Structure 1
Amino acid sequence: MQRLYFLLVFITLGCSNQAQEQQRSILPGAYQTDDYLPLIEDKKVGLTVNHSSLIEGTHLTDSLQSLGINIKKVFTPEHGFTGTISDGVKVEYENSESSFELISLYGENKKPSTEQMNGIEIMIFDIQDVGTRFYTYISTMHYVMEACAENDIPLLIFDRPNPNGSYVDGPVLDTALSSFVGMHPIPIVHGMTVGELAQMINEEGWLKNQVKTDLKIIKTRNWNHQKRYSLPVNPSPNLPNDLSIALYPSLCLFEGTIMSVGRGTDYAFQQIGHPDYPDTTHSFTPVSREGAKWPPYEDQRCYGLSWIGKQPSYAFSLQPLIEAYKKMNRDDFFNDYFKRLAGTNSLQKQIEEGQTEEEVRASWEPALSNFKKKRKQYLLYKD
């Protein structure tokens, strides 16, 4: 028995070391300096970045400046340059102590203006995404692409792996419901990197007036859509680990309901709850903190469902939503935000009518299958 135990430990450690080695071998686009330095040397460079824009732990701004690159302006998305500002909070900058101008693209100003683009000869976009339609970094990318096209500025996208990139699922957005949490006719889980999605946006004519960006993708090396990728840094304040990122596509829909998704706790997007949830087995109390200022039900004990401690399962499910709706049994369960997150008027009605997940999924066709076919022509990483 003891020999068997040590054999199992040896196998486990071997598998763990192999997984770690695979992680280390994955090199995002920002690491490919030989591929892009000739394109940006002696140019005035703009960057669209945040805290996730790293090369082996060093921020892209620092890496490029150490190589003599002239960074003129830095644009940032939701959560700001540091990635610590709460969701939905307008990002503003006063005087920057940096050598470059810092400009927020979250708040009243979501698209770089012609004035803000002035003096830039080439733009770089390098932000870690998590592969869902309602994660707003891809909306910021859309507006940056549009501004580059309108001002004749080339755009380099430093691609990074999509941790939810192994599958495609969910209803395709009804463009009548387009908003900053869903700008494109794609499903909730689109299964594309930002580079692949940028190509689709460009070629499908989704930019304003169907303008096209002079676009170049610096690919990630040693990764494909079936490879698991554990993010080296939290992509936003309330996605603290792999489990939250895997659950995010399913649990973010609760943001359009009366339920809390655990903002203001250590386990955001790993639990859902409400002060009046009838099953009191699991509970948590949200508190105001950095990255989660004034969370729903602040300082109130919430009861609900928990996935804390489970292994990440990369799949989209409606079951948590269906179960919570049945148990709460309230007419005010959904709010107006839900339709924008879902990207369709149908999903709320289907759940209220008591349809099964299988019945709901059937209604996503043929749009979902058509998207999957379209997606194939833009993929940069073959399995």
Structure 2
Amino acid sequence: MGAAQLPRYLPLLRGQRVGLVVNQTSRVGRTYVADTLKALGVNLTAIFAPEHGFRGEAADGATIANGRDARTGAPVLSLYGKTKKPTPDMLANVDVLVFDIQDVGVRFYTFISTLHYVLEAAAEQGKPVIVLDRPNPNGAVVDGPVLEAQHRSFVGLDPLPICHGLTVGELARMLNGEKWLAGGRQCRLTVVPVAGGYTHATPYPLPVRPSPNLPTARAVALYPSICLFEGTNVSVGRGTDQPFEVIGAPSQPAARPYQFTPQPNAGSPTPPLNGQRCYGLDLRQPAPGAPSEFFTLRYLLDFYQQSADKPHFFTKYFEQLAGTDSLRAQVIAGRSEASIRASWEPRLGEYKALRKKYLLYPDK
């Protein structure tokens, strides 16, 4: 991991006031990178906390409060709540920013939106940024519709497909190089790459769950396909022990082979469809003969076709996740997955060509 290569970036931190953008995945071995750097005498003057908080204990969507980290003594400043972009006041006591957060390679996973805003604030305020890179567990996948500008939100800030196929270091290079930051600004960026022959096809089981509701490698692999259901009346298993590994809804046929009832838990205190019996699928084991692609629309198409409440199947949130106006209409019209996929061109092909400019690692 980039974080483990201390000789490559520790000299850049000596004598500097350092701000860390980190969470529970930001570790050197089993030790938080914040604790590691503090023990090495680095002057930590701020810790910026994304969604789920610095130690990763907050539920999905919970507002993160400012505070102070008991172990390092550094102030913890929230980047998830009213303030998602570091303000000049927040960076006043920082000379250099270090970003080290595990991503899962999906446009609507909000840590890359935090990366965007950190780079943007750094560019505006003349602060250098060091990105400590980590593998992308879905790094072999480049797929899905490219975000349309009118659907830009915190779950999609940049013109990326649903599966962007980049590590956070490569993505930072793209955001900076393509001048996608506000005003076309660019920041002083250093990426400490993953060492040891990593490729985008290298399997990488995550040693620490990246967020409370992605507890397993199977959930991470299913996440690009299943998260689209967050914009529908179908549960993705929040409020169960199998989030993003089961899907179901009261409006699905009772003959579906799996049933579950969402209940409040630590990861989802108020889960969608709380207390309602949901009929659906258990996806923890791949079905025999199932297609091998990481991103598929087959579940979405199936559940819409089988829904007993089609008028309320989609919510307003769906377009923000899909990143396009067309997908909802295509599903309603009964278009096939192959036909829908064809409509993603030429933009997806153009993105794939652009991506090659910023790769630090081969695809195979």
Answer 1 or 2: which has greater helix percent: 1
Describe the shift of the 1:371–1:39 C-alpha distance in structure 2 as closer, same or farther (beyond 3 A). same
Paired amino acid for 2:207: P
Post-superposition CA distance 1:316-343 (Å, at most 9, x none): 1000000000000411100000001000
- 1:82 is displaced (CA, Å) by 2.0
Paired amino acid for 1:333: F
Residue 93 of structure 1 is matched in structure 2 by 66
RMSD: 1.3
SS at 2:228's partner residue? helix
Residue 280 of structure 2 is matched in structure 1 by 304
Distance 2:17 2:69 in 1: 18
| 2:171 paired with 1:191 | no
Paired amino acid for 1:283: Q
Q: Contact 2:68–2:74 (CA<8 Å) still a contact in 1? A: no
Paired amino acid for 2:317: Y
Residue 11 of structure 2 is matched in structure 1 by 38
Q: Contact 1:247–1:314 (CA<8 Å) still a contact in 2? A: no
Select between 81-90 and 32-41 the one with higher mean Cα deviation.
81-90
State which of 227, 232, 243 in structure 2 corresponds to 1:268: 243
Q: Contact 1:243–1:310 (CA<8 Å) still a contact in 2? A: no
Residue 322 of structure 1 is matched in structure 2 by 301
Paired amino acid for 1:36: Y
State which of 228, 236, 244 in structure 2 corresponds to 1:253: 228
| 2:84 paired with 1:105 | no
SS at 1:146's partner residue? helix
Distance 1:364 1:96 in 2: 45
Q: Contact 2:14–2:42 (CA<8 Å) still a contact in 1? A: yes
Q: Contact 2:144–2:344 (CA<8 Å) still a contact in 1? A: yes
Q: Contact 2:100–2:132 (CA<8 Å) still a contact in 1? A: yes
Residue 14 of structure 1 is matched in structure 2 by none
1:342-357, aligned counterparts within 5 Å?
A: 342-357=322-337
Select between 353-362 and 285-294 the one with higher mean Cα deviation.
285-294
Distance 1:37 1:205 in 2: 28
Q: Contact 2:67–2:77 (CA<8 Å) still a contact in 1? A: no
Moved over 2 A (4+): 93-98, 309-314
Residue 380 of structure 1 is matched in structure 2 by 360
| 2:23 paired with 1:50 | yes
- 1:299 is displaced (CA, Å) by 2.1
Unaligned regions of 5+ residues in structure 2, if any?
Answer: none
Q: Contact 1:164–1:314 (CA<8 Å) still a contact in 2? A: no
| 2:187 paired with 1:213 | yes
1:62-101, aligned counterparts within 5 Å?
A: 62-94=35-67, 96-97=69-70, 98-101=72-75
- 1:171 is displaced (CA, Å) by 0.3
Residue 60 of structure 1 is matched in structure 2 by 33
Select between 324-333 and 254-263 the one with higher mean Cα deviation.
324-333
Paired amino acid for 1:34: P
Paired amino acid for 2:355: R
Alignment: residue pair count: 356
* TM-score, length of structure 1 as denominator length: 0.91
Post-superposition CA distance 1:270-329 (Å, at most 9, x none): 111112310342011111111211101212221111112349955110000000000004
Post-superposition CA distance 1:180-226 (Å, at most 9, x none): 00001110000000110111111111100011010000001121111
Distance 2:144 2:251 in 1: 29
- 1:42 is displaced (CA, Å) by 1.5
SS at 1:260's partner residue? coil
Unaligned regions of 5+ residues in structure 1, if any?
Answer: 1-27
Describe the shift of the 1:247–1:77 C-alpha distance in structure 2 as closer, same or farther (beyond 3 A). same
Post-superposition CA distance 1:43-64 (Å, at most 9, x none): 1100000000011110001100
State which of 108, 114, 126 in structure 2 corresponds to 1:140: 114
- 1:230 is displaced (CA, Å) by 0.4
State which of 263, 270, 273 in structure 2 corresponds to 1:287: 263
Q: Contact 2:85–2:117 (CA<8 Å) still a contact in 1? A: yes
Distance 2:199 2:300 in 1: 31
Distance 2:67 2:193 in 1: 34
Specify the structure having the higher radius of gyration (Cα). 1
Distance 2:280 2:314 in 1: 16
SS at 2:144's partner residue? strand
State which of 172, 186, 202 in structure 1 corresponds to 2:146: 172
Residue 213 of structure 2 is matched in structure 1 by 238
SS at 2:306's partner residue? helix
Describe the shift of the 1:94–1:73 C-alpha distance in structure 2 as closer, same or farther (beyond 3 A). closer
* TM-score, length of structure 2 as denominator length: 0.95
Q: Contact 2:236–2:246 (CA<8 Å) still a contact in 1? A: yes
Q: Contact 1:45–1:73 (CA<8 Å) still a contact in 2? A: yes
